[in-house]
Structure 1
């Protein structure tokens, strides 16, 4: 493997920690991209990487994305991310979570963690027994907290509404055809919100049984994961893992809009230009999917500042996402630059790297 700083996805990260605890079997990486605006915040991903080099690339890209996401959401937090390297059986033990909590604690508050792919609220509760630098914990009453997934889905839903209005002139989602790739925690909730608003849905997920059940519930169509990106639709919404927008997939898209919650949707930065060349409206992922981190940050600062923030206030903050997207699209239309370039430039300026 190349030296860390020679990897294409290394972006002047402040710190990258490789964590190993032999007693529990924990192998993890914690990357802090920037603490310019505050403690580096970002979830922990539990995933099996057949090639461990991909774990390094993943944590580098995800932590950079969190810097941009938090900055663009107006949060006083930097960007960080963690990945726990799971074995093929996805073995996860209390001892492993405890060791990970200890690793977070040793960073002394420079990193604040929460749920991500493969990590549940219960897992974060276990981590919280070893460190206070955790959010996404169960909430009481109407206070902010708990699983950030519903808040992420809500923000994406609002962003898709804004995209349909901006690109298609649609004031309602009634009859707008959305193809959703990934129907898990976020994608499934997004599908329900869209169906309630009258959208026509086509779904795909690697969990075919789960996708079929959801399709039956919502009256949606179902296609294979190999077919979803070629579905003729109004909006293609990627909500699984990243890197799905590359030369081949962009050429095959049959949608005027790409708007979804997956992180790092562009395989490489130049793929934003390919979307623009095809006149496909792209919602930068870290702008549209910021609802979860808005909830996580609200919960964390409410705890550290000993005050209360209710869910209604969190939803008001999430409701600002469409305005940010429209501003980016308007500048793209007037400047000739892509929406991805504009979002990156704004985020870099905010974290002091412009």
Structure 2
């Protein structure tokens, strides 16, 4: 009996030691040197933000990308909730060009790559079937921003998009500021000004998994979206122009439910998007509004999204195909991340009933979005 008790005690101690080791294991380290490279004659680098409250963010000025975001879970252990690569070359070679990037000049799709301002028609590069997606073939995700740290917790990125870049009119000066606040928030402030009338729709394309990057499917995450309506799309994911109620459809996230709960339903919109890849019309008419709440089913990490934008694109990782080796020797497997892109609506320049994305010459574009993290 004594021998058995001793053996059992050893097993318990070994198991506890293993659990402790796993919980104390730090997230994948990232080498700043792996992000230092000359790109088109300019220097790429990696910047680290720390709010002194347990959160850290790493940002590359290549594409203005959110490379890593460390957030404490319900046990106080840090988890990296953003998918990314461990080097700049990973982003440059990726078959998915938008990991963590600032997307523009126009986030989301523009039908057939053209739009009009007054009597002038502008033709854009085509990079998504018959349409333009996220600014075109060489959008902001491939551009090098100049970077200026503001203390330990903030970084300002600037980029000048020249007149005619990807077909868009006007020299556009863009400023994006990342800030980690004392409230465990990641705050993004966008500003822009153009010397000609143009269209603009800026957003961030972080791929989130609140259980930790590489931890498996996000289909069990609980999601709530503060939207009574969404914008249905055609087979090329261009809005039809209708604004349809979510009630009675798989797009009803007004009460929190698992992301994957209704994915198997026979629904033409789910078929077109291969799941969720749709714009939700945020219900609040206030300038500053709550857009969504997501909870990781394993970590207890909750992310609440606030924005000044009228829409939210929810993408459920339907086109992830395990083609890219991510940080920590993991891959971008099917539906192992989701995106919540604060935005104006897709194809607004061609949809007169949608909120306008016209930016007049000399006018200042401003937009703010916040991702607040807590645990439950």
Task: Report the TM-score when normalising by structure 2.
Answer: 0.31
User: 1 or 2, which has the higher helix percentage?
Assistant: 1
User: 1 or 2, which has the higher strand percentage?
Assistant: 2
Task: Report the TM-score when normalising by structure 1.
Answer: 0.32
